[in-house]
Amino acid sequence: MSQIFHRSTNTLSRATIFGAVFVVAALGWVAMEVQRSPYITYAGVRKPQPVPFSHQHHVTGLGIDCRYCHTSVETSSFAGIPPTKTCMNCHSQIWTNAQLLEPVRTSYKTGESLQWTRVNQLPDFVYFNHSIHINKGVGCNTCHGPVDLMPYMYQQESLQMEWCLGCHRAAQKNLRPRDQVFNMRYQPPSGATPVVVDGHSYTDQEELGLALIKKYNVRSVKDITNCSTCHR
């Protein structure tokens, strides 16, 4: 019986299968990169707001503390969006006729809340508690980035699970004394700028972080990386 396929068919088949493996791997890599990109995560994307509120102006320029507007951040899972009355505490006295603040004045007169666009938005199936992180010594800018330098607010990090786990698996790298949580210009300890806690001077972040884990009773890595910690 004569041979149906040419002898080169075997070589061609092996090369095709071998090449398909690389194609599938390449497609998987592309998919993961797209999943991590700002197109999906919105990291670095400035979203439109009803009023062009500048954190840079209010925090750095005027020295307003985060908690003046985000009043529940130390005691609640949600940082809180300030009511219009908070804005009018100042703007009933200054910039009273500024056109860009007309939506604020209208909201105050009508009682209808401004429809702010959430910048740092987690999926509904993720539970996140601001107060826990703050009371364990996680600074605002650890997650939100240099908010005090943002003329228009944007999401600094991807907020994806791998990013959260990176911190949970090595919490000591990001902890700071509680009295420095709202300090947007806080610097980790070094030989030039030590951090003093309970009379002890720390010049290394790892050492400081491990001490704060014990002081603030931070749960073990096994506990804080358990699925049920965030997915409830």
pLDDT in tens, 48-90: 999 999 999 999 999 999 999 999 999 999 998 999 999 999 9
Please tell me the predicted confidence (pLDDT) of residue 78: 92
Token reading at 154: 């944007």
Please tell me the predicted confidence (pLDDT) of residue 14: 79
Q: Are residues 134 and 166 in the same domain?
A: yes
Counting the structural domains of the chain, the total is: 2
Q: Are residues 128 and 16 in the same domain?
A: no
Segments in the chain below pLDDT 70: 1-3, 5-6
Residue 88 lies in a domain: no
User: Rounded distance, CA 230 to CA 67, Å?
Assistant: 25
Q: Are residues 76 and 23 in the same domain?
A: no
Q: Are residues 20 and 76 in the same domain?
A: no
Please tell me the predicted confidence (pLDDT) of residue 22: 86
Q: Are residues 25 and 47 in the same domain?
A: no
Q: Are residues 69 and 160 in the same domain?
A: yes
Q: Are residues 51 and 12 in the same domain?
A: no
Please tell me the predicted confidence (pLDDT) of residue 5: 66
Q: Are residues 23 and 53 in the same domain?
A: no
Residue 207 lies in a domain: yes
Q: Are residues 147 and 48 in the same domain?
A: yes
Please tell me the predicted confidence (pLDDT) of residue 223: 87
- Structural domain that includes position 182: 39-81+116-230
**Residue 178 · residue 60 · CB < 8 Å:** no
Q: Are residues 61 and 159 in the same domain?
A: yes
Q: Are residues 57 and 167 in the same domain?
A: yes
Q: Are residues 65 and 157 in the same domain?
A: yes
